[in-house]
Amino acid sequence: MAHKAIYALMVAGLATSGNANAFSGNDLIKWLPEYEQGTSLNSGMYLGYVSGVADIGNNILFCAKSTVTRGQLAAIVGKYLRNNPESWQEEASTLVTAALEKAFPCPEAPAKNK
């Protein structure tokens, strides 16, 4: 639980509510076709953003195996974005995390007996 709180603080530092510079799902969905075609700087923005959030959140909020590629992560996030257009106004980090939590849930920790 402490790891989740630390992660939440880290993400909040990257993209705080009300920050005019915070990226949203609208940015990600705009960059996605360019990433898929590899046609512009925005293709790197998409992959870099997804990779950065994945690096910070892995083994804290979601548990992707080390064999999962950055391309797979990008494809999973892209699928999530396309299936959830009603959420595009949300912060990009929230959407990337939601997609990866859904795809790679962490195993439940065994209950501790006191």
Q: What is the pLDDT of residue 37?
A: 93
Q: What is the pLDDT of residue 2?
A: 54
* The total number of residues written for the chain in this structure: 114
Is 114 a domain residue? no
The tally of domains found in the chain comes to 1
Is 113 a domain residue? no
Is 38 a domain residue? yes
Q: What is the pLDDT of residue 109?
A: 67
Q: Give residue 99's domain range.
A: 2-12+23-103
Please list the residues that pair with 58 across neighbouring strands.
62
Per-residue pLDDT of the chain (114 residues), as tens digits, is 555 545 444 554 444 445 556 999 999 999 999 999 988 888 899 999 999 999 999 999 999 999 999 999 999 999 999 999 999 999 999 999 999 999 999 998 666 665
Q: What is the pLDDT of residue 71?
A: 96
Confirm if 10 and 60 have CB atoms less than 8 A apart: no
Is 79 a domain residue? yes
**What is the amino acid identity at position 74?**
A
Q: What is the pLDDT of residue 45?
A: 95
Is 111 a domain residue? no
Nearest to 56 by CA among 109, 110, 4, 104: 4
Confirm if 25 and 89 have CB atoms less than 8 A apart: yes
Is 112 a domain residue? no
Is 32 a domain residue? yes
Is 39 a domain residue? yes
For the domain that residue 30 is a member of, what is the CATH number?
A: 1.10.890.40
